[in-house]
Structures are given as C-alpha cells and as structure tokens.
Amino acid sequence: MEHHEEQKHHGTHVISYGRYLLIWLGLLSLTGITVALSGLDLGQWIIITAMTIASIKTLLVANIFMHLKFEDRMFRVFVLVAVVTLLIFIVLTFFDYAFR
Amino acid sequence: MTTSAFVTEATEPDFYHVRTKHKGILAWVLSTDHKRIGILYLVTMAFFFLTAVLLGLLMRLEMLTPGKTIVEPQAYNTFFTLHGIMMIFLFIIPGLPAVFGNFMMPILIGAKDVFFPRLNLLSWWLFLIGGILALVSVFLPGGAADTGWTFYVPYSVRTTTNVLPALLAAFTLGFSSILTGLNFITTIHRMRAPGMSWFRMPLFVWSLYATAWIQVLATPIVGITLLLVSLERLFGVGIFDPALGGDPVLYQHLFWIYSHPAVYIMILPGLGVVSEILPVFARRTIFGYKFIAYSSLAIAFVGSLVWAHHMFTVGMSNTGVFVFSFLTFLVSIPSAIKVFNWIATLYKGSIEVEVPLLFILSFIAQFCIGGFTGLMLGTLAINIHVQDTYFVVGHFHYVMFGGTGFGLFAAMHYWYPKMFGRMYKKGPAVLSWLLLTIGFNVLYFPFFVMGYLGMPRRYYDYLPEFQTSHQISTLGSWILIVGLVIMIANLLISLRKGRRAEANPWGGETLEWKVPSPPPLENFHEIPVITTGPYDYSKYERVVQEAK
Amino acid sequence: MTSGAAAVAQGHGHRDDVGAKLGMWLFLFTELILFGGMFIVYAVYRFSHPTEFHVAATELDTLVGTINTIILLTSSLTVAMSITAIQKGNKWLSFTLVGFTVMLALAFLVNKYFEWGHKFEVGLYPGSAILLNKPPGEILYFGLYYVMTGLHALHVIIGVVVLAGMMMFIAKDKITRHSYVRLEAGGLYWHLVDIIWIFLFPLFYLLH
C-alpha cells in the first residue's frame, strides 16, 4: 500500500449491458435457490446456507455492479478491512454469549 | 525537509486577511478553509470545555463535605452526566483532530486544503448543532439527563429526564466525527505532496490517520445503539429493555464496541502530538520512526478488540472475561513502544526546554500512570475489587486529561505562533504549566487511594473516613483552575500584545514551519517536493558530534 | 476519469475521481457498520431465542419479501446500466434508467407500506397488547423487524432523493460522459441499500 494508488491507474472501464444482465440473472437464480432451500428442513444448516448465498450475491453486486473488481487494489483492501472489523465485533461478542 | 527554502515574502496576505465572499462572522461560519474551520472548532470547543470544567469544579466543591455541600443529589447526577457528555463528545474526541488536525494536517502533508472542504464545514456545523442540543437538553422541562454519559439501559429507557435530546446530541456529534475521519483518510491518501511517501509523513499525521479509521469504523456502532435506545423510549420497541425480553448487557457490549475504541480516538492524536513535538526540542531525529508509525495502527486495531473489559462484573461468561482481559494486556505493547521511543529520542538530545516540551513531559509521566493503572484494571482480580470506584475515575482522568488534555495544551503552545502569528509570554506559560501539573496530580491521585479503599464513583455522599482525601482532591481542583485561568489569559492577551512570531520560532523541520505565520490562504505558493523524512536534525547532531 | 491520469490531486484545479469514490466507499463502510450493529443484536437474540424467532417469522409473507428482493435487484441492475449508458454518451438512456430505478424504489416502498399496514391490522406492532402477550423472543423479533426494515426503508427513501438529484444532474448536463463520478457515487449508495436487503431478506423472511 506504499503509494502506488496514485500512480497506477485504471482507465475508464465500460461494462457491457450484457454482462450486467447476466449478473442480474445470476442474482435472481440465487434468490430462487435460497427461497427454495428455506422450504426444506435443514435445521441449523439453514442459516449457514442462507448466509453463504447472501454473501455470494453481495460479492456479485460489489464486484460488478459496484465496479470493485475494476477499481484500484486499495479499494478491495479497505472493503476487506471494514468487513473483517464487523466480523470481529460479532465473533468477540459471541465469546460472551456462546459460553454463558 | 525540502530542497529549497520557500518561506514566501509577505506579499501574500495571511488567511485572516484575505478577501472573503462573505463578511463578518459569515466569513468564518461559511468558510471552507481548513484553517478557519480549525479555529472555529477551537473557539466552540473551548466554550464547551470551560462549561464542563465548571461542572467538574462544582462537583469537587460538592464533595468537600459528606452530605449536601452546595447542590441536591439530582443536580449532582445531572452534573456528572453533562460533565461526561461534554468532555467526551464535545472536547476530547473532536479536540486534537478537529482543531489541530484540521489546521495542521493539510499543511503537514503539503496540501492546500482537505479533500472535501465543504464536508469539513458540515462537520463543524453538526458539531455545533450537537453541542447546542446537549445544552438545550439541560433547560427543557423534564430536567437534564441523569444517566451518566454511558446511557445504560434500562435506566435510560425509564428515567423521565431529557435523555432523548442528549441521545440525539451524541448521535449528531458522532456523525460529525465520522465525516471528519472520512475526510482525513481521503486527504491523507490522495493529497500528499510529491515525494511525501507514507514514511516521510509527520507522525502526527500517522496518528490522525489511525484515529480516522476508528472514527469511520467504530462510531456507527454507537450511532445505531443510541438510535435503538431512542426508538425504545419513543415507541416501546423491544430491544434492550428486560421487561420486553431484551438484554441490557447487550447494550453495554454495543456501547463499548464504540466507546472503548473511542478512548483511542481521544488518546492517539495526543500520542501523535508528543511524537511531533519531542524531536523538535530534543533536536534529534525521532527514535524508531517506523515503530511509532506502526504502533499507531496497532493501537487502533488492538484497541478495537478489548471493549468488554468495561463489563467484567456485569455477568458475562467466564470465557468472555478471560478473552477480553488477555486482549486488554496486548494494547500495552504498542503503547509501551511509543514511550520507549520517546525516551530514546530524548537520550543524548540537545534538549531545549520550551513550554510545549514541559507539557509533553507531564504528558508522558501522567500517561504512564494512567496506562499502568489501566493494566491493573485489566487484571481480573483487581478489576472485581475496584470496578465502579474512584480508582477507575482516577485511571481515565490520568489518560484523558493527564494525557490528551496536556497533549492539547502542548499542541496549543507549540502551534500557537503558527496559528495566530504571535508569541505568548514564556513566564506565565511556565507558571501555568507548573500549576496545572501540580493541581492535576493533587486532584486525581487521591482518587486511586479512595477507589482502592472502596469509594464508589458517581455517589453523592460518602463515609467520613474519605473526607480528608476528598478535601485534598478538591484543593487540587482549585490549583488546577488557577493554572488554567493563567494559561488561557496568557494566550488570549498574547493574541494582541504578543510579539510577532517568525515563520519558524522553534527550529522545526516539518512543513508548517516553512510557510509564513499565519499561513496564506492556500498554504503554499507552490506545492513543495519532499526529499527527506520529517525530522531531519542531522545538522544539530553533527554539531554535537563535533563538540565531543 | 477522462484520461485516468489524475495524478495526486492537489485540491483546487485538478479533479480526482478516485479520491471522490474513496470518500464514498468510506461512507458506505459507516452505513455497513451502522446496520452491522443491528446484525449483532439480531445474531445474539436469535442465538438465545431460536424457536421463538422461527415461530415469529411465520407471520411474515415470504412472497412479499421475494417480490421486494427481485424489485431491488432489478433496480440495482438499472442504476448500474445507467453508468454504462452515460459512459457511452447516451444521456437520455442513462436518464431513463435512473428514472426506472426510482420507480422500482417507489414500488418497493409501496409494497413495504402494505406489508407493515397488514402487520398493524393484525395487532403486531411495538407496544400492542397482542405482541406484549407473546413470549420475549417474539417481541424482540418484531422489534428488530420494525427497526431494521424501517431503517432500511428510510435508506430507500434517501436513495430515491439522491437518485432524483442524479436525474436532474443528467438532464442539466452536470453529469456527462466526461464527468460522471457523482452518478457513480449515487449508484454505489443504491447498491449498498440493495446489499443490506440481500441480508435482511433471508434473516427475516426465510426462517421457516
């Protein structure tokens, strides 16, 4: 993270309509899958599968719709920092609740 | 620090005297110049600080004797609540970043302003609105909030006092803090002068950068938490209230997830000020630059993992208690790295004793006491014993006031000539330092003793055996206030009467000393090109070598 | 962004779109953590009241939730496409796509209105006698349901205002193929609102 973010530069990146539509279709199918799975009796697995699917959807939206994939690496590092921070907050809170 | 000296001839008017779009007060409250915004923060913050000081002084006076001395118990409850809210949200959190960060950071990195100047102005307005809300909550019918600055549920949901305006004030101030942090991160990433690599940045900027990340990533948690409490008060939504199935301990988790890192929002810029000022008066390159820079980030990170050490006695699981106690000890590592490097910087330096250095020396000593008592509090066996006593109050005043407060005074005396173009009188300044240091320690050291003997915090009344300690402490508050008055009077009088300051009165090497005092509107005629690190005192070191 | 060689922006004069986007992303992080705080509350309460959360969730209509999910995903698509349109210089196509996004957002809100209205009709709202007679876990579930979807809806409303502003900028040529970082920032905000919903949907509607 020296200071290459100033020097290295991506040009204008135009994403085609087709690619967007493809991603959109992917998001809709994932929605369908997660709704369908909720009808099954998965017990404790339901939360894990649902969150996994939601995370995949988020990755699609962030990478393509939000252009994260085409931005400077610094942006992805920052997103990671923010998400990891939130996860740490949740995990550490459960050091209390999971062991009550 | 740069290849060419570029102190400009006084052809360009300084930022006080430039032509502005608006006239009078509007030239200030609508200005997007980072220097003017810094001064705006300074003035508003000083007002809130003095109000909170007054409340503190009254509380000490009340504690002079057991039972009633001057006010009723409920008044005392609102005093400590307002003292806390104002000191924390209106003084220490915005203190160094918003005043000196705003004024100095762009100059220190060789920029003309912050990245989002209008957002910067909005931050100040939100700060002002939040401050006014806090004040208004005192005078509305219902009475000032009496929950303490921590707003613990279920009391904050049930009490009939004006908790809502106070919550709203804290929320608004949090938003202001977030915007400042966001602005600083973007500025530091995008606007450093050519050649100003990360490791050529002054250490104050490093500390602001670490602080800004905490502001952005932790503040929203308290924002939403206070919002949830407000909704619970307004609509009876079941969130934290145990009557509706909620868990008050969860509130405490969320509150401290922000409010412990907030402690590092308060102290990190203070640590940065020490790192900034020490090399100038030691006439030595700072020892262990990279260690100090990284330790700021390390403190910001580890400091975000320790919040539940405020809650060891509230009924957390034992596993949780152990984990958080362990993590708490980890924070001492980066803090100690800083202290060792400061001492090493002073070692064999050509020390020049000026007022800023005196404040810094008090800072280091008091910060160490605050830090060590912090380790004691992180130790489970001791924590159970002194939880919610004066020991805790003593600890955080040593860090927050003895540390950050003195750091702010040091910064004030260090950058005063740059900000106002005048010098203050050294005699009264030294006297005020002496009185502040003595008064501070006489005021707060007895807290450790009383706390250890079991004096609970926030209590209006106390047992007769505590009276001597309380009286010593109250005496300290009077010494402290005299010192404070002398300091402020000296600084105010010098605004008009002080002799004109040259561009570089201290012999500093960082960029702010290479522009005129006070700086022109856009700081630099030409953006400087940086070729060396920030604290290049090799010329002094050579002299010392030759003298041997 | 025209040449992309924005170098280090030096305040006045140079434009620095990367910096502007960086600021926007930092703002999005604060929004993420803001909702994150509520996700922590949700996680803890669901952990301590698992069965009651399941029972309470049966009151919610999966179909309405699914429809709203599709609406938001589609609106994300149209706002993303509007950036491609402006990059290609199709001013009015871009304008229309943002307008379409606004319409979808309004449709989402209408749906939400009827959904909440129905809950109120059957007496499931904070402080209602019916709700207060339920076990604690269900009170907490509905407390969180109202607060989290309510705050999300508030963000949708803010998004509508922001996007309407973008339409105005496009119409007045304040956003053009050479300078569209504002549209990108507005779009980023809208996608975040979408992402929050991507998580809210399974957490509240798919608990059966």
Q: What is the pLDDT of residues B220-237, one digit of tens each?
A: 999 999 999 999 999 999
Size of interface B-C (CB pairs under 8 A): 124
CATH 2.60.40.730 corresponds to the domain C17-205: no
CA distance A91 to chain C (A): 9
- Distance, in Å, from the CA atom of C34 to the CA atom of A85, rounded to the nearest integer, reads 12
**pLDDT score at B3:** 40
Residue ranges of alpha helices (H) inside C122-207 are 129-132, 136-171, 181-205
Confidence class of residue B5 from pLDDT cuts 50, 70 and 90?
very low
Mean model confidence pLDDT for chain A: 88
What six digits make up the tokens of B528? Answer: 């400087």
Residue type, B209: Y
| Average pLDDT of chain C, as a whole number | 92
Candidates A83, A92, A93: best to mutate against B (most CBs of B within 10 A) is: A92
Chain A's closest residue to B323, CA to CA, is A95
Residue percentage of chain B with pLDDT more than 70: 97
What pLDDT is attached to residue C14?
Answer: 67
Query: Per-residue pLDDT for C1 more than 50?
Result: no
What is the pTM (predicted TM-score) of this model? Answer: 0.94
Q: Give the tens place of pLDDT for each residue, C118-139.
A: 999 999 999 899 999 999 999 9
Percent of chain C scored above 70 by pLDDT?
Answer: 93
Answer yes or no: is pLDDT of B440 > 90.
yes
C39·A90 Cβ contact <8 A: yes
HEC assignment per residue over B170-217: HHHHHHHHHHHHHHHHHHHHHCCCCCCCHHHCCHHHHHHHHHHHHHHH
CA C11, distance to chain mean position in Å, is 32
B324 and A95 within 8 Å at the Cβ level: the answer is yes
Per-residue pLDDT for C45 more than 60? yes
Contact call for A34 and C188, based on CB within 8 A: no
Nearest-angstrom CA–CA distance, C148 and C153: 9
Under an 8 Å CB criterion, which residues of B touch A?
Answer: 189-190, 192, 197-198, 213, 217, 221, 249, 253, 257, 304-305, 307-308, 316-320, 323-324
Q: What integer pLDDT is reported at residue B539 of this predicted model?
A: 76
What pLDDT is stored for residue B452 in this prediction? Answer: 95
Q: Is the pLDDT of residue B544 over 90?
A: no
pLDDT band at B65 (very low <50, low <70, confident <90, very high): very high
Percent of chain B past pLDDT 90, that is, above it, reads: 89
Q: Do A12 and C74 touch (CB under 8 A)?
A: no
Domains, chain B, ordered by start:
26-547 (1.20.210.10)
Cα–Cα distances (Å) from C143 to B220, B279, C160, in that order, read: 20, 55, 26
Q: What is the band of B19 on the pLDDT scale with cuts at 50, 70, 90?
A: confident
Q: Which of A5, A83, A93, A96 to mutate to test the interface with B (most CBs of B within 10 A)?
A: A96
> Which residues of A are less than 8 Å from B317 in CB distance?
95-100
Whether residue B547 is predicted with pLDDT greater than 90 in this model: the reply is no
- Interface test with chain A among C10, C14, C18, C42, by most A beta carbons within 10 Å: C18
Give me the mean pLDDT over the B72-76 stretch. 94
Query: Which of chain A's residues have a Cβ under 8 Å away from the Cβ of C4?
Result: 9-12
Q: What is the pLDDT of residue C15?
A: 85
- Taking residue C92's Cβ as centre, other Cβ atoms within 10 Å add up to 11
Say yes or no: A1 contacts chain B, CB-CB below 8 A: yes
Average pLDDT over residues C74-82: 97
Which chain B positions have a beta carbon within 8 Å of A6's beta carbon?
190
Task: Give the count of alpha carbons within 13 A of B97, CB side only.
Answer: 37
A74 contacts chain B (CB < 8 A): yes
**pLDDT, tens digit (0-9, with 9 covering 90-100), for A59-68:** 999 999 999 9
- CA of A61, closest CA in chain C: separation in Å? 7
Q: Which residue in B206, B249, B319, B530 has the most chain A C-beta atoms within 10 A of its own C-beta, making it the best mutation to test that interface?
A: B319
Interchain pair B197, A82: CB under 8 A? no
What is residue B19's three-state secondary structure? coil
Maximum pairwise Cα distance, chain A: 53
Quick one: pLDDT at residue C2? 28
Q: Which residues of chain A lie closer than 8 angstroms to B192, CB-CB?
A: 3
Q: Write the single-letter amino acid at B531.
A: T
pLDDT above 50 (res C9) = no
Residue B4 pLDDT exceeds 60: no
**Is residue C10 scored above 60 in pLDDT?**
no
pLDDT along chain A (100 residues), means of 10: 38 86 97 91 85 97 96 95 96 94
pLDDT of B10 reads: 52
B185 chain-C contacts, CB cut-off 8 A: 22, 26
Query: Where do runs of H (alpha helix) occur along C91-135?
Result: 91-121, 129-132
CA distance C186 to chain A (A): 11
The answer to whether C24 contacts chain B (CB < 8 Å) is no
What confidence tier does B199 reach under pLDDT thresholds 50, 70, 90?
very high
- pLDDT number for residue B22: 87
Q: Does C144 touch chain B (CB under 8 A)?
A: yes
- pLDDT band of residue B319 (cuts 50, 70, 90) is very high
| A-chain residue closest to C181, CA distance | A12
- B405: nearest Cα among B40, B45, B36: B45
Task: Indicate the angle between helix axes C136-171 and B203-235, nearest 10 degrees.
Answer: 120
Residues in a beta bridge with B520: B14
> Could you read off the pLDDT of B143-198 as tens digits, one per residue?
889 998 999 999 999 999 999 999 999 999 999 999 999 999 999 999 999 999 99
Chain A closest-CA separation from residue C121 CA (Å) = 26
For the cut 90, the answer to whether the pLDDT of residue B540 exceeds it is no
Q: How many CB atoms lie within 10 A of CB B385?
A: 15
Give the side-chain half-sphere CA count within 13 A for A16.
Answer: 3
- For all residues of chain B together, what is the average pLDDT? 93
Residue B494 backbone zone (phi > 0: left; psi -120 to 50: alpha; other: beta): alpha
Q: Is B534 helix (H, G, I), strand (E, B) or coil?
A: coil
Hey, where are the domains in chain C?
Answer: 17-205
C37 in B contact zone (CB under 8 Å): yes
Q: For position B23, what pLDDT does the model report?
A: 87
CA distance C73 to chain A (A): 7
Contacts of residue A29, Cβ cutoff 8 Å, sequence gap at least 6: none
Cross-chain CB nearest to C146 (options B119, B227, B237): B237
- pLDDT tens per residue, range B464-483: 999 999 999 999 999 999 99
DSSP state of B13: P
Rounded CA-CA distance B330/B374 in Å is 12
A100:B217 CB<8 A: no
- Residues B287-308 have a mean pLDDT of 95
